[in-house]
């Protein structure tokens, strides 16, 4: 757990305490107990002049053991707070040698030390707010005292780690060195000799002009970035305390807020999503990839192809972007260049970085340029005939071991694979718009897709910063298959009495990034119109069908791109404005369908739409289209703007209780008919008193 090693130096004996708790050196209860023992041994040994605290391999410490939260182990003494107080108060100098990543509680440990030296590769951060909690072992009180308010707010609220070099600039570490332990020993001994003063944080309130504006702007940023999450706001309140209270009182306040958060539903949901993402990355087979993906072809430079090419180029891959004509290619290229220019203006990339990225994308109108590609991703029109034509040409020009993928939103991957001579090397890679921003990647396994191909694509997904989720073939895979039910209920609710603004407002208040009708306006109403027309011949005639969306399209209103859809838009603005013309049309559709409009509550809007997602998701799990319920949560949080603080639709259903969900669905089934046939899996779970998280 924690090893003590004595080093004899000219200036005296130094105890090096090394945390050894693979894989990430988390400071769980056992490590705390061991560190306490070794620390006491080092401090009570009169021959030891100074102490150095370090970690092993790539980790100083990954922080508290999240799996121990809400368990008796979290209460095992000493607490991390008590350990840090002991370190801070020690008479002998204790210096942290940050040999690698120091996150959360790991970084907080170093903040109690009297000096800090980091390896050049070290990363230092306080990611707690991303898990719905806050740095609860003094981070919000000591970090601002050490590096000032602005930098501390950035690290605590942003949740992103900083590099060793940035940490040096902030004054978070005293030195950066290739041998941090040797340097820390040197620093500790100079402190012991009185040559240098220890860097203990001042316990008084911070002597800083109270900058209300800095806190206001931190709160505004947090509200925008973490929609509906309370942890970042609580963390800001803790930081604000440093201005008015002494350290001890601030620590008490922080402890209280941490306890409040760690016991709340939000942090449980956020921790669920954290683990769910890691689980989603696990494939059923551990067969390794059989091709290393370095060069990727992209067919189509439209909305998706352009974004996919950018994602790949950003991660250092070489890209061939192919279009059907020079004019289409130039149009797509122009959009990519403009997107990069915007990123550069916003300070995300430097001019050189933009240039490097653009240089990685080769433009082409010739299939022959795919001859040396390891993978080709097709992002052309959503039309089976077009896709089949493209895949047979790809099959002819690409290397036999090249992987061929389609970005189709709904079409049958097996039918596409069927036109090639290599169905085992064909799959779906369903990116989300904008593809260079959205993290989700649905990886669609066809009937014959090989495990080695899946492994190669999962590896690539991680390299380009995506969250891959394995899904099976069906209309719409996981995300879009569910969303059809969600939007269907939104359309029905319009006819029954709600307005677009009421539906979108209720779901935004629930925490969705945007409401379903706003989302439709953004994506373009013509796209789902085309899908509905395609499905029309096979739609059972006895089922209720809302004509609202079709009628809006018939008026030439395709959403934001035409300046009107479910809402109207002022030129150049994305702000949806309610439109009486649409309200009149909805009333007319309702009258034609013989529906008497009524008042609809926010609660009904949320239950009708969100439980429609849950019911379909349960069928998807049962059909084996998703590997596990938590994968569905990842799809919805990473790809569909579902609130992270509710943990995804399945976790949310578990939280409100599956019995309540099923009872409500049964009531809807009686009132609204067979769309609401309860999923057998949901019934089975309720019968056996289990939850989705038990599967």
User: Which residue numbers are catalytic?
Assistant: 108, 128
Residue nearest to ligand NAD (CB): 302
Among positions 12, 148, 264, 302, the unique one binding ligand NAD when judged by CB under 6 A: 302
Looking only at residues 505 through 564 of this chain, which bind ligand NAD when binding is defined by CB under 6 A? Answer: 523
Give the β-pairing of 123-125 and 162-163.
Answer: antiparallel
Which residue, 221 or 303, is less far from ligand NAD as judged by CB?
Answer: 303
Among positions 115, 135, 300, 446, the unique one binding ligand NAD when judged by CB under 6 A: 300
Among positions 51, 185, 206, 380, the unique one binding ligand NAD when judged by CB under 6 A: 380
Smallest separation, CB 556 to ligand NAD (Å): 18
CB neighbour list of residue 63: distance below 8 Å, 6 or more residues apart: 26, 27, 103, 104, 105, 106, 107, 127
Q: Does 323 bind ligand NAD (CB under 6 A)?
A: yes
Q: Does 386 bind ligand NAD (CB under 6 A)?
A: yes
> Helix 149-158 and helix 231-241: axis angle, to 10°?
160
Among positions 35, 146, 280, 322, the unique one binding ligand NAD when judged by CB under 6 A: 322
Which residue, 126 or 444, is less far from ligand NAD as judged by CB?
Answer: 444
Q: Does 303 bind ligand NAD (CB under 6 A)?
A: yes
Which residue, 182 or 523, is less far from ligand NAD as judged by CB?
Answer: 523
Radius of gyration of the chain (CA): 28
Tokens read off for 178 = 């290739």
| Residue count, binding to ligand NAD (CB under 6 A) | 26
Q: Does 76 bind ligand NAD (CB under 6 A)?
A: no
Tokens read off for 502 = 């009421």
**Closest to 413 measured CA to CA, from 481, 477, 484:** 477
Which stretch in 2-10, 50-58, 379-387, 568-576 sits in contact with ligand NAD by CB under 6 A? 379-387
Smallest separation, CB 311 to ligand NAD (Å): 13
Which stretch in 66-74, 431-439, 445-453, 531-539 sits in contact with ligand NAD by CB under 6 A? 431-439
Smallest separation, CB 394 to ligand NAD (Å): 10
Q: Does 43 bind ligand NAD (CB under 6 A)?
A: no
Which residue, 169 or 383, is less far from ligand NAD as judged by CB?
Answer: 383
Which residue, 328 or 606, is less far from ligand NAD as judged by CB?
Answer: 328
Smallest separation, CB 21 to ligand NAD (Å): 42
Which residue, 216 or 366, is less far from ligand NAD as judged by CB?
Answer: 366
CA distance readout (Å), 384 to 223, 300, 379, 614, 646: 42, 15, 12, 30, 37
DSSP letters, 599-640, are ---HHHHHHHHHHHHHHHHHHHHHTTSBSSHHHHHHHHHHHS
Site string for ligand NAD, 433-472 (x = CB under 6 A): x---------------------------------------
DSSP letters, 427-462, are EEEEE-SSTTT--EEEEEEPSS--HHHHHHHHHHHH
Smallest separation, CB 473 to ligand NAD (Å): 15
Which residue, 356 or 526, is less far from ligand NAD as judged by CB?
Answer: 526
Is the peptide bond prior to 183 cis by the omega test (within 30 degrees of 0)? no
Our measurement of the distance from residue 648's CA atom to the centroid of its chain's CA atoms, rounded to an integer in Å, reads 12
Smallest separation, CB 503 to ligand NAD (Å): 21
Q: Does 405 bind ligand NAD (CB under 6 A)?
A: no
| CB-based burial label for 347 (10 Å; 0-12, 13-18, 19+) | exposed
580 phi and psi, to 5 degrees? -55, -30
Cα angle for residues 143, 118, 188 (degrees, 5° grid): 85
Among positions 328, 513, 531, 656, the unique one binding ligand NAD when judged by CB under 6 A: 328
**Closest to 442 measured CA to CA, from 401, 474, 400:** 474
Among positions 56, 166, 324, 335, the unique one binding ligand NAD when judged by CB under 6 A: 324
Smallest separation, CB 486 to ligand NAD (Å): 16
Which stretch in 149-157, 427-435, 608-616, 676-684 sits in contact with ligand NAD by CB under 6 A? 427-435
Q: Does 264 bind ligand NAD (CB under 6 A)?
A: no
Q: Does 379 bind ligand NAD (CB under 6 A)?
A: yes
CB neighbour list of residue 552: distance below 8 Å, 6 or more residues apart: 525, 565, 566, 582, 585
440 phi and psi, to 5 degrees? -75, 140
Tell me how far apart the alpha carbons of residues 66 and 147 are, in angstroms, rounded to a whole number. 27
Smallest separation, CB 389 to ligand NAD (Å): 6
Half-sphere exposure of 110 (CA within 13 A, CB side): 33
Tell me how far apart the alpha carbons of residues 59 and 646 are, in angstroms, rounded to a whole number. 31
CA distance readout (Å), 94 to 36, 63, 177: 14, 19, 17
Which residue, 230 or 299, is less far from ligand NAD as judged by CB?
Answer: 299
Among positions 34, 245, 266, 409, the unique one binding ligand NAD when judged by CB under 6 A: 409
Q: Does 304 bind ligand NAD (CB under 6 A)?
A: yes
The H or E element containing residue 158 is helix 149-158
Q: Does 301 bind ligand NAD (CB under 6 A)?
A: yes
Q: Does 335 bind ligand NAD (CB under 6 A)?
A: no
Tell me how far apart the alpha carbons of residues 421 and 408 are, in angstroms, rounded to a whole number. 20
Q: Does 339 bind ligand NAD (CB under 6 A)?
A: no
Q: Does 299 bind ligand NAD (CB under 6 A)?
A: yes
Q: Does 336 bind ligand NAD (CB under 6 A)?
A: no
**Binding positions for ligand NAD, rule: CB under 6 A:** 299-305, 322-324, 328, 332, 379-382, 386, 390, 407-409, 430-433, 523
């Amino acid at each position: 757990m924690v090893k003590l090693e004595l080093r004899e130096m000219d200036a005296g004996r130094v105890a090096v305490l090394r945390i050894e708790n693979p894989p990430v050196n988390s400071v769980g209860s056992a490590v705390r107990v061991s560190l306490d023992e070794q620390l006491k041994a080092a401090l009570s040994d009169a021959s030891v002049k100074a102490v150095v605290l370090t970690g092993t391999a790539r980790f100083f410490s990954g922080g508290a053991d999240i799996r121990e939260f809400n368990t008796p182990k979290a209460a095992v003494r000493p607490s991390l707070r008590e350990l840090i107080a002991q370190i801070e108060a020690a008479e002998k100098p204790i210096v942290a040698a940050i040999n690698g990543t120091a996150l959360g509680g790991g970084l907080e440990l170093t903040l109690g030390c009297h000096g800090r030296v980091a390896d050049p590769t070290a990363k230092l951060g306080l990611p707690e707010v991303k898990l719905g909690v806050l740095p609860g072992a003094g981070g919000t009180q000591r970090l601002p005292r050490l590096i000032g308010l602005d930098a501390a707010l950035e690290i605590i609220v942003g949740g992103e780690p900083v590099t060793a070099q940035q940490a040096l600039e902030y004054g978070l570490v005293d030195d950066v060195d290739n041998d941090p332990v040797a340097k820390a020993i040197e620093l500790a001994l100079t402190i012991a000799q009185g040559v240098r003063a220890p860097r203990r944080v001042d316990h008084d309130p911070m002597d800083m002009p109270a900058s209300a504006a800095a806190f206001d702007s931190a709160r505004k940023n947090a509200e925008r970035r973490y929609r509906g999450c309370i942890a970042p706001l609580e963390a800001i309140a803790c930081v604000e305390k440093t201005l008015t209270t002494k350290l001890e009182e601030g620590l008490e306040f922080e402890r209280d807020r941490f306890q409040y958060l760690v016991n709340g539903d939000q942090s449980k949901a956020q921790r669920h999503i954290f683990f769910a993402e890691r689980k989603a990355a696990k494939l059923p087979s551990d067969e390794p990839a059989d091709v290393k993906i370095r060069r990727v072809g992209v067919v189509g430079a439209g909305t998706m192809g352009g974004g996919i090419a950018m994602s790949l180029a950003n991660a250092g891959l070489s890209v061939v972007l192919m279009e059907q004509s020079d004019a289409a290619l130039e149009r797509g290229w122009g959009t990519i260049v403009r997107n990069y220019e915007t990123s550069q203006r916003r300070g995300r990339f430097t001019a050189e970085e933009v240039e490097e990225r653009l240089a990685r994308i080769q433009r082409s109108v010739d299939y022959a340029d795919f001859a040396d590609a390891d993978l080709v991703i097709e992002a052309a029109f959503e039309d089976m005939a077009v896709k089949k034509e493209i895949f047979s040409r790809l099959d002819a020009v690409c290397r036999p071991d090249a992987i061929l993928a389609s970005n189709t939103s709904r079409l049958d991957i097996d039918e596409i694979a069927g036109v090639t001579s290599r169905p085992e090397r064909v799959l779906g890679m369903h990116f989300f718009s904008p593809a260079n921003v959205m993290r989700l990647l649905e990886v669609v396994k066809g009937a014959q897709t090989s495990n080695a191909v899946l492994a190669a694509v999962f590896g690539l997904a991680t390299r380009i910063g995506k969250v891959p989720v394995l899904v099976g073939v069906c209309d719409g895979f996981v995300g879009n298959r569910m969303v059809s039910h969600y939007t269907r209920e939104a359309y029905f609710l319009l006819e029954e009495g709600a307005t677009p603004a009421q539906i979108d407002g209720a779901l935004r208040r629930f925490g969705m990034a945007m409401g379903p009708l706003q989302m439709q306006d953004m994506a373009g109403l013509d796209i789902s119109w085309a899908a509905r027309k395609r499905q029309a011949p096979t739609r059972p005639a006895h089922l209720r069908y809302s004509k609202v969306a079709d009628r809006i399209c018939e008026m030439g209103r395709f959403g934001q791109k035409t300046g009107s859809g479910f809402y109207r838009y002022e030129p150049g603005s994305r702000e949806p404005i309610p439109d009486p013309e649409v309200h009149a049309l909805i009333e007319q559709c309702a009258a034609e369908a013989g529906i008497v409009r009524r008042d609809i509550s926010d609660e009904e809007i949320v239950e009708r739409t969100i439980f429609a997602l849950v019911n379909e998701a349960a069928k998807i799990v049962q059909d084996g289209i998703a590997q596990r319920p938590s994968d569905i949560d990842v799809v919805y949080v990473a790809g569909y703007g579902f609130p992270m603080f509710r943990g995804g639709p399945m976790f949310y259903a578990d939280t409100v209780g599956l019995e309540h969900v099923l009872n409500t669905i049964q009531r809807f089934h009686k009132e609204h008919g067979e769309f609401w046939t309860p999923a057998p899996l949901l019934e089975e779970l309720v019968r056996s008193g289990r939850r989705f998280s038990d599967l």
